[in-house]
Amino acid sequence: MNMDVLRKQDEEIYGAIAGEVRRQTETLELIASENFASRAVMETCGSVMTNKYAEGYPGKRYYGGCEFVDIAENVARDRAKKLFGCEYVNVQPHSGSSANMGVLFAVLKPGDRIMGLDLSHGGHLTHGSKVNFSGQFFDAHTYGVERETGCIDMNRVEEMALDVRPKLIICGASAYSQGFDFKAFRDVADKAGAFLMADIAHPAGLIAAGLLNDPMPHCHFVTTTTHKTLRGPRGGMIMMGQDFENPLGITVKTKKGVRTKMMSEVIDAEIMPGIQGGPLMHIIAAKGVAFGEALQPEFRDYAVQVRSNAAAMADWFNSLGYNIVSGGTKNHLMLIDLRNKDVTGKVAENLLHEAGITVNKNMVPFDDKSPFVTSGIRVGTPAMTTRGMNESHSEAIAGLIDRVISAANTDSIEKVCREVREDVKAMCQDLPLNDFGPTP
């Protein structure tokens, strides 16, 4: 994007952005939750819609002059409904955390019990972590993966749910490479008398493309971010396959008397005015653009390639003697347990950074190291696939990562990182980012 005005006005911020453009252009992005949004999405994020206050919802705003932002929000909502096959959507959450907060605050009271996947087993902060609102406002219980398989065992989830009797069960993860059986989760939720929420922030693009189980028919609530596999602007969203009368006893007075509010009304009110004020209209408009892109047939091809790249990379890592938690991947990411390589996640992340490869250190299930050190790394293929990379690149990248990790405890590590960095740069130059990501 042309940044001449910023360059002249603010050298410091311009310099930071220019550095980030270089970094995104010349290095390999393997953080599983990152992607390159299209130029159309980024133009929309940088548009005049950032100037507009629009508290409320289309047709029911607290400010005048909302006729154009209303168009954008309606387009975003309609496209999201078509993309995910849902009856209700709220596109206003600023992030995945706000989306989750919106649902939790809409259906729970402080102190209510919830159940989610443990953060150290691949879950998310907002699924009940003690350092997050979800674990502080609510009585959070966490289920995990099995030590032997690295997979979630639904019998154990059921056992725990019947014991804990949570009011809400959360399924979904940030570092789990297997699919979720949403129907089985719903059966458990029904037996325990709980609401079920799926957080599909990570695999949303693969779900939209029909490559993974569909949560909509089974979950009361589905939340997501819009910037990971969905490849949109940074933001969040709440959906329901079908709206229903809220069973919480929340009513509204109308001219005809008192009626029970629909769940959609309860959630809308929880997002605004409950936890947010003015919506980010530039981001909502960009969500609309991204959903329009995701509705095109090319997006399905992209999603298929993301998954195929991840599978090829996991196979290659397995053949090189790496331990992938759960044995492999059915989605866009893998969690690699580095304990048999005598390297911590922290060291691996730093060395790979030196080599031009960006990953994040990650706890592995039953980790004996702290979250600042960790025993693993998480690797994902959404961004490299947007660059146009395929299975052969995946294998080559696994080989480059292995070169660095194998040299970690040797005298040649600096030389290896320098050489790999050159290989990475050449790979990136071969596949410039064209319609996505930064203009070099």
Q: Which residues contact 287 (CB under 8 A, 6 or more apart)?
A: 76, 80, 91, 226, 232, 233, 235, 237
Which C-beta is closer to ligand DSN: that of 96 or that of 144? Answer: 96
The packing angle between helices 391-406 and 413-430, to 10°, is: 160
Contact pattern for ligand DSN over residues 122 through 161, marking x by CB under 6 A: --x-------------------------------------
Q: Which is nearer to ligand DSN, 202 or 393 (CB)?
A: 202
Residue 322 falls in the annotated catalytic set: no
101 or 427: whose CB is closer to ligand DSN? 101
Is 124 or 218 the residue whose CB approaches ligand DSN more closely? 124
Give me the catalytic one of 14, 25, 39, 53: 53
Q: How far is the CB of 96 from ligand DSN (least distance, A)?
A: 5
* Number of shown-chain residues binding ligand DSN (CB under 6 A): 4
Active-site position among 44, 225, 385, 386: 225
Whether 14 is catalytic is no
Nearer to ligand DSN, 96 or 166 (CB): 96
Distance in angstroms (rounded) separating the CA atoms of residues 126 and 155: 24
Nearer to ligand DSN, 122 or 288 (CB): 122
Our CB check for ligand DSN shows the closer of 27 and 98 to be 98
Residues 6 or more apart whose CB falls under 8 angstroms from that of 75 comprise 288, 292
Catalytic pick from 26, 55, 139, 153?
Answer: 55
Nearer to ligand DSN, 160 or 313 (CB): 313
Structure tokens at 295: 């509705």
161-220 binders of ligand DSN (CB under 6 A)? 174
Closest CA to 184 of 144, 150, 208, 156: 156
Q: Which helix (H) or strand (E) holds 254?
A: strand 251-254
**Is residue 228 annotated as a catalytic residue, yes or no?**
yes
Helices (H), 144-273: 154-164, 182-192, 204-208, 263-269
Measured CA to CA, the distance from residue 228 to residue 225 in angstroms comes to: 7
Instruction: Return the closest-CA partner of residue 358 out of 428, 430, 432, 431.
Output: 428
Q: Rounded to the nearest whole angstrom, what is the least distance from the CB of residue 73 to ligand DSN in the complex?
A: 24
Nearest approach in angstroms of CB 362 to ligand DSN is: 9
Binders of ligand DSN in range 76-105 (CB under 6 A): 96
* Residue of 73, 118, 199, 337 with catalytic role: 199
Sign (positive or negative) of CA dihedral 300, 307, 389, 292 = positive
What gap in Å lies between CA 351 and CA 392, rounded to an integer?
23
- The CB-of-361 to ligand DSN minimum distance in angstroms stands at 11
Distance in angstroms (rounded) separating the CA atoms of residues 99 and 224: 7
Q: At closest approach, how far in Å is the CB of 225 from ligand DSN?
A: 7
Contact status: 33 vs ligand DSN (CB under 6 A): yes
| Least distance to ligand DSN, CB of residue 124, Å | 6
Tell me the DSSP string of 321-356.
T-EETTSS-SSSEEEEE-GGGT--HHHHHHHHHHTT
d(CA 34, CA 26): 16
* Given 167, 231, 234, 361, the catalytic residue: 234
Q: Is 70 exposed, middle or buried (0-12, 13-18, 19+ CB in 10 A)?
A: middle
**Do the beta carbons of residue 251 and residue 259 sit within 8 Å?**
yes
Of 203 and 356, which has the nearer Cβ to ligand DSN? Answer: 203
Long-range contacts of 101-104 (CB under 8 A, 24+ apart): 101/126, 101/133, 101/134, 101/275, 102/223, 102/238, 102/267, 102/270, 102/271, 102/274, 102/275, 103/168, 103/197, 103/221, 103/223, 103/238, 103/267, 103/270, 104/133, 104/134, 104/137, 104/138, 104/168
- Least Å distance, CB 175 to ligand DSN, is 7
Verify whether residue 234 is a known catalytic residue: yes
77 is catalytic: no
Whether 87 is a known active-site residue: answer no
- Contact residues toward ligand DSN (CB under 6 A) are 33, 96, 124, 174
Catalytic residues: 53, 55, 199, 225, 228, 234
